[in-house]
Chain A
Amino acid sequence: MPTNAPAALSDVTASDGALRRFLHGLPGVDAVGLEARAASLGTRSIKTSAKAYAIDLAISMIDLTTLEGADTPGKVRALAAKAVNPDPTDRTTPHTAAVCVYPDMVATAKAALNGADVKVASVATAFPAGRAALDVKLADTRDAVAAGADEIDMVIDRGAFLAGKYLKVYEEILAVKEASGSARLKVIFETGELSTYDNIRRASWLGMLAGADFIKTSTGKVAVNATPANTLLMLEAVRDFREQTGVQVGVKPAGGIRTSKDAIKFLVLVNETAGADWLDSHWFRFGASSLLNDLLMQRQKLATGRYSGPDYVTVD
């Protein structure tokens, strides 16, 4: 049996039964308590210098995303230009972490970025539903990597997970990880479909055991995407995983984070749960598109003392 699990935990992926026993042996999650903790951290008041720091950090953590059937090369080029230079009126604005596109747009994005220090992330594995045969998913992944993707955002097979076939999900992640080569792998759980916090904790450990570089909440294509509570839970998982194995894994909430206020709340969750080691675009990302303009407007407000308005940031 191939494994990416760190030595300390290599035996838990030895069989379907062992994996199930391990995942079901993780501490349960009390939903009321988890949500109360997330809400309580949401009341932190982040002002002045702390706000300026948080806004710049949040911008630098964005995977600027377009995942539409209507995506065109023109749209992707505009997105790439914005990722490199988010605010044309203020060149001190940090660039985003990455642009995130479908596999067929990777080459366009790569060319548009023209060597800038912005990664190209590609969704793959029959995103967003993941309903395809494994070899189709692997071909999708290889295609994206061959076109120059630096990062692969895969989706797990939620059907298999909910049916309790954890080893199938695990092996699929292993296979995609291998197909991704040197690209960093983000594993999307679609937490809105896993539905319970216990499932989200189990999926987080399953993904990390299989070698995920990032665990990611959602595709942005279902009703419930990233929430403070599910992200807090995943931050606890990466914190505990590093404690047990020494391996650090990133977290990416995606979908539904639209305002600076929301983004700052997520950064507070990172700071007070996983800790300062994760306050870096290498370890924490926002999957978002409209969030960036709100951050830019808040940034301008902090610099000038005035709100500018939507005509003073670029549409894309």
Chain B
Amino acid sequence: MASVFEYAPAPESRAVVDIAPSYGLFIDGEFAEAADGKVFKTVSPSSEEVLSEVARAGSEDVDRAVKAARRAFEKWSALPGRERAKYLFRIARIIQERSRELAVLETLDNGKPIRETRDADLPLVAAHFFYYAGWADKLEHAGLGPNPRPLGVAGQVIPWNFPLLMLAWKIAPALAAGNTVVLKPAETTPLSALFFADICRQAGLPRGVVNILPGYGDAGAALVEHPGIDKVAFTGSTAVGKAIARQVAGTDKKVTLELGGKGANIVFDDAPLDQAVEGIIGGIFFNQGQVCCAGSRLLVQESIQDELLDSLKRRLSTLRLGDPLDKNTDIGAINSEEQLARITSLVEQGEAEGAERWSPACALPSSGYWFAPTLFTNVTQAHTIARDEIFGPVLSVLTFRTPDEAVAKANNSQYGLSAGIWTEKGSRILAVANRLRAGVVWANTFNKFDPTSPFGGYKESGYGREGGRHGLEAYLAPTSPEGAR
């Protein structure tokens, strides 16, 4: 008689992180209240517990922060690259030393499992700072001419899905290139950015080089509009990205936009099936599917559809949903009530349009924001759930018959951020990858990130690249007029 192997709760200790009851804005090296005294609460999405009360930046605060960054720019950009590198290396090492604390914090504020913050987010954050620290004294080798110059003050607005990692993607290359920054974290996940502000102080970073302004969309808009910034970097929804593009049109601000996606994960009949199943799971359920490059469309060759779906359903049934701090949790909470409502409405639309919905038996916790892992079959290109970004743990399964059809369907999207190809045939990988209009194409894997690799999209997924040598281009001007700045 076989017994059942029940995993006892294995929660990571909350004691490693000390969250203050309130936090200010971080401007010019100091924490300060908002000029108008406004605050907002940040809650833990898995329990709806209020974690802290955070100052809410307004346009006056934006102005103060941009001015502080401008003042700091002169000295910071004049430092030799190897001196800037020292600060970045120091920040990277402090992040590693405090990685457990930051992982627990991120899990509390975002709702994602500790397994992911511990094994993915935090190692990547540190790696990003290490990587760009290495560039700081080698900018003349970045392919932008002999003496590339920083742009000035960068206004950066980041999303809630990878709060600290998106901060690293924005801040590390900006500082390495000699820019100063004003960064606005998302309103649902301000805490790790504020802890990062503390790390900047711990590293002795000169005041004003990094300014952190927690707040809502109004603060982000004020930042983008501010005449004192030279560069806008945004990661978030396509709608806001379009608004930003309109806002900065006609100004001399440089812009990079990292927007939505509807990634196609293409599985051919000669794929390594067990690993493809893992890749599909990782592609759509990593971070509860709240990933811009998620593989949210599965394109499976019709001849292996049944076999693959059986395996996929069996594997879905083993996913462990629950307390994000439990080290054995695979699926955590949805980041906010608002996001949960959006996912729910799109899923209902998928059902109403005739797609077939399936989820494993899965008890959801009574408090917090939760959505069971879900897959849809009988989906066609015409369904809303095959076109719109859901940004949740929902997979749409479509089929194809030939490589040509796979490529046509994969490219038939307003987005073009990511794609995956699963086949044991190397020549097919190369042939298909060349025809996909996606910024990142993974072969026999998915959602693999590395600071050396550029990341960005085609079409409505945005423009500009982050990561790698290409990521420096967003923060450097190849030439500058004699004597400028």
A and B from one complex: yes
A-side residues, CB < 8 A to B, are 27-30, 32-34, 36-37, 43-51, 53-54, 57, 236, 267-268, 271-272, 276-280, 283
Q: Does B15 contact A (CB under 8 A)?
A: no
Given contacts A54-B5, A283-B2, 16 further A-B contacts (CB under 8 A): A27-B274, A28-B272, A28-B424, A32-B275, A33-B274, A33-B278, A33-B444, A33-B445, A43-B115, A43-B119, A44-B328, A45-B327, A57-B3, A267-B5, A278-B2, A279-B4
Q: Does B10 contact A (CB under 8 A)?
A: yes
Q: B275 is contacted by which of A33, A277, A278 (Cβ under 8 Å)?
A: A33
- A-B residue pairs in contact (CB < 8 Å), sample of 7: A33-B274, A37-B275, A43-B119, A48-B8, A53-B6, A268-B5, A272-B318
CB of B424 within 8 A of CB of A280, answer no
Q: Are the CB atoms of A45 and B274 closer together than 8 Å?
A: no
A50 surroundings in chain B (CB, below 8 A): 5-8
A277: B residues at CB distance < 8 A = 2
Instruction: Mark each residue of chain B from 61 to 81: 1 if its CB lies under 8 Å from any CB of chain A, else 0.
Output: 000000000000000000000
B270 is an interface residue with CB less than 8 A from chain A? yes
Task: Return the contact of B3 from the options A27, A34, A46, A279 (Cβ within 8 A).
Answer: A279
A54 and B272 alpha carbons, distance in the complex (Å): 31
- Asked whether A29 and B2 contact (CB < 8 A) given A45-B10, A49-B8, the answer is no
Chain B 413-430, CB-CB to A under 8 Å as 1, else 0, gives 000000000001000000
Which residue of B has the minimal Cβ distance to A233?
Answer: B274
Q: Taking each of A43, A57, A267, which has the highest tally of chain B beta carbons within 10 Å of its own beta carbon?
A: A43
Q: Does B279 contact A (CB under 8 A)?
A: yes
B1 at the interface (CB under 8 A from A): yes
Give residues in B with beta carbon < 8 Å to A.
Answer: 1-10, 115, 119, 270-275, 278-279, 318, 327-328, 424, 444-445
* A-B pairs, 4 with minimum CB distance: A33-B275, A45-B10, A45-B327, A30-B272
B275 pairs with A46, CB closer than 8 A: no
Instruction: Say what secondary structure dominates the interface of chain A.
Output: helix
Closest to A51 in B: B8
Please measure, in the bound complex, the distance between the C-alpha atom of A220 and the C-alpha atom of B466, giving whole angstroms: 48
A46 to B9 CA separation, bound complex (whole angstroms): 8
Q: A29 and B10 in contact (CB under 8 A), knowing A44-B328, A276-B3, A276-B5?
A: no
Closest B residue to A32 by CB, please name it.
B445
Contact A36 B278 (CB under 8 A): yes
Interfacial chain A residues near B10, Cβ < 8 Å: 45-47
Residues of A within 8 A of B2 (CB): 276-280, 283
Q: Note all chain A residues with C-beta closer than 8 A to B424.
A: 28, 30
Q: Quick one: which of B3, B272, B328 contacts A45, CB cutoff 8 A?
A: B328
Which residues of B have CB within 8 Å of A268? 5
Give the CA-CA distance A276 to B317 in the complex, in Å.
13
Contacts of B9 in A (CB 8 A): 47
Contact B271 A27 (CB under 8 A): yes
**Chain A residues within 8 Å of B274, by CB:** 27, 29, 33-34, 37, 236
Closest CB-CB distance, B310 to chain A, in whole Å? 8
Interchain CA distance A48-B318 in the complex, whole Å: 21
Residue from A27, A36, A271, A278 in contact with B272 in the complex, judged by beta carbons closer than 8 Å: A27
- On chain B, the residues within 8 Å of A51 by CB distance are 8
Tell me which of A36, A37, A45 has the highest count of chain B C-beta atoms within 10 A of its own C-beta: A45
A286 to B275, CA, bound (A): 25
Contacts of A46 in B (CB 8 A): 7-8, 10
CA distance A6 to B393 in the complex (A): 40
Bound CA–CA A206/B446 (angstroms): 32
Chain B: which residue is nearest A282 at the CB level? B2
- CB pair A53 B5 closer than 8 Å: yes
Between B2, B4, B7, B119, the greatest number of chain A beta carbons within 10 A of the residue's beta carbon is seen for: B7
Interfacial chain A residues near B115, Cβ < 8 Å: 43
Nearest Cβ distance between residue A231 and chain B, in whole angstroms? 14
> A28-B424, A32-B445 known; A279 and B5 CB under 8 Å?
yes
Residue of B nearest to A284 (CB): B2
Q: In the complex, which residues of chain A have a beta carbon less than 8 angstroms from the beta carbon of B3?
A: 53, 57, 276, 279-280
- Report the separation of the CA atoms of residues A36 and B271 in the bound assembly, to the nearest whole angstrom: 17
List the B residue with the shortest CB-CB distance to A201: B274
Rounded to whole Å, the gap between the CB of B143 and the closest CB of chain A is 30
Determine the chain A residues whose CB is within 8 A of the CB of B327 once the complex forms: 43-45
Docked complex Cα distance between A27 and B424 (Å): 9
Q: What's the Cα separation between A267 and B273 when bound, in Å? A: 23
Bound together, the chains give a CA A57 to CA B3 distance in angstroms of 10
CA distance A27 to B308 in the complex (A): 11
Find B270's partner among A28, A45, A48, A236 (CB 8 Å cutoff). A28
Specify which chain A residues have a CB less than 8 angstroms from the CB of B279 in the assembled complex. 33
Residues of A within 8 A of B8 (CB): 46-51
* B385 smallest CB distance to A (angstroms): 27
A49 to B6, CA, bound (A): 8
CA distance A277 to B272 in the complex (A): 25
Whether B278 lies near A37 (C-beta < 8 A) is yes
| Residue of A with least CB distance to B272 | A30
Q: A28-B270, A44-B7, A50-B6 are in contact. Are A34 and B275 (CB under 8 A)?
A: yes
Closest to B304 in A: A27
Beta-carbon nearest neighbor of B6 in chain A: A50
B1 and A280 within 8 A (CB)? yes
How far does the alpha carbon of A48 sit from the alpha carbon of B8 in the complex, in Å?
Answer: 7
Q: Which of B274, B275, B444 is most buried by chain A, counting CB atoms within 10 A of its CB?
A: B274
Q: How far is the CA of A53 from the CA of B4 in the complex (A)?
A: 9
Q: Are A32 and B444 in contact (CB under 8 A)?
A: yes
- Listed residue (A28, A48, A49) with the most chain B CB atoms within 10 angstroms of its CB: A28
**Chain A residue with minimal CB distance to B315?**
A272
Contacts of B278 in A (CB 8 A): 33, 36-37
What residues on B are CB-neighbors of A43 within 8 Å? 115, 119, 327
In whole angstroms, what is the CA distance A30 to B425 when docked?
11
Report chain B residues within 8 Å CB of A36: 278
**B7 contact set on A, CB distance < 8 A:** 44-46, 50
